[in-house]
Structure 1
Amino acid sequence: MGECVVKTVCIFSAVLALGVSASAFAQQAVQCPSLPANSGLHWDQQTQSDFIVCKATTEDGRTVLNMMLSGRDPDLALNRPLRAEKGEFGGEQMYWYKLDMGGRDVPGLESRRISVVKLDKNRYAQIWIDAADTTELGTLQNLTQSLNLNPSALAGSN
């Protein structure tokens, strides 16, 4: 009978662990901002202990929009001469920057951008776009302005 109690406790622990895993997964699934239904994009999400990476992928599998949400400043040096378009993200004004490839001429560079936005104390978003062309770049920049950040997205990363 003692063995049965142990098995029951083990089974209960396993079920509890699965429930916690499912609960953690459900919480993670809502941490990337919601994408508009008509965007044709879906998020692939990776959660680490102190940041979340959201990768927006097209129906044909291209990753076109990436976002890292973190409680730490990514300390990314964005040079003023590479400043491109003004924008907004999470209610904050920001600039998009062209990528610095060390003077190399990389195909498609004109349709790539990066930015870092301080959302509030200990909340940062690093966003980068890898568009197919400048038209898609503009579309993705407009899309990022419309993203509604989930305030609990960084709750565990302070």
Structure 2
Amino acid sequence: MKSWGKSHRALPWLCFLLVLSANAQEAAPAQGNCPMLPADTGLRWEYRGNADSDFCRALRADGSEAFGLYIASKSPFEPKRSDRAEAATIDGKPIHWYRGELAGKPNVQVRETLLEVGNGKMAHIWMQASSPEQLKEVLGQTEGLRFPSTRLSVNK
């Protein structure tokens, strides 16, 4: 009975370690100020940053860009209500995606959004999709992003 008591005391620690291990597998780690990527996407970050900004590209296994984001105190992107497309959530917060265009590529679907991420910083997120199916996939991947501050506010 005494040996059971010793192993019984170790049980909470084993459970704790199992939970930590499971949580570590749920999301890919963030780099710089890039948000955490959901593990089931198979994406990885390519990161560049400096004291004033962070540039993050979510790359597929083949090296192509799924989406990108730029975090800084200001963004050149200004959402226009007339360009609103899909409503969604990122990090549990409601957002709207806005349609964009690429010169010379009328069949590419472009989406962008702008979020406040705390500390006076904005995140401009963009994506380009070659088909409605790919657009749906990438929109779903961005919904699983988790920002380090987790203090996003609704975009304009």
Per-residue displacement from partner, 1:9-54 (whole Å, max 9, x unpaired)?
A: xxxxxxxxxxxxxxxxxxx835322222221211100012211111
| Residue 21 of structure 1: aligned partner | none
| Residue 29 of structure 1: aligned partner | 31
- Cα pair 2:101 2:110 within 8 Å, conserved: no
1:74 aligns with 2:75: yes
| Residue 106 of structure 2: aligned partner | 107
Give the 5 Å matches for 1:8-157.
29-70=31-72, 72-100=73-101, 106-109=105-108, 111-120=109-118, 122-151=120-149
Partner SS for 1:151: coil
TM-score, length-scaled by structure 1: 0.66
Q: Give me the whole-angstrom Cα distance separating, in 1, the residues matched to 2:78 and 2:114.
A: 10
Gaps of 5+ in 2: 1-29, 151-156
TM-score, length-scaled by structure 2: 0.67
- Cα pair 1:33 1:150 within 8 Å, conserved: yes
The structure with the largest strand share of the pair is 2
User: Which amino acid letter does the alignment assign opposite residue 99 of structure 2?
Assistant: K
Instruction: Provide the identity percentage.
Output: 24
Partner SS for 1:94: strand
The structure with the largest helix share of the pair is 1
Please state how far the C-alpha of 1:75 moved relative to its aligned partner: 4.5
- Cα pair 1:90 1:119 within 8 Å, conserved: no
Please state how far the C-alpha of 1:88 moved relative to its aligned partner: 1.9
Q: Give me the whole-angstrom Cα distance separating, in 2, the residues matched to 1:91 and 1:50.
A: 26
User: Which amino acid letter does the alignment assign opposite residue 80 of structure 1?
Assistant: R
Please state how far the C-alpha of 1:115 moved relative to its aligned partner: 0.8
Question: Relative contact order (alpha carbons < 8 A, sep ≥ 6): 1 or 2 greater?
Answer: 1
Moved over 6 A (4+): none
- Cα pair 1:92 1:119 within 8 Å, conserved: no
Gaps of 5+ in 1: 1-27, 153-158
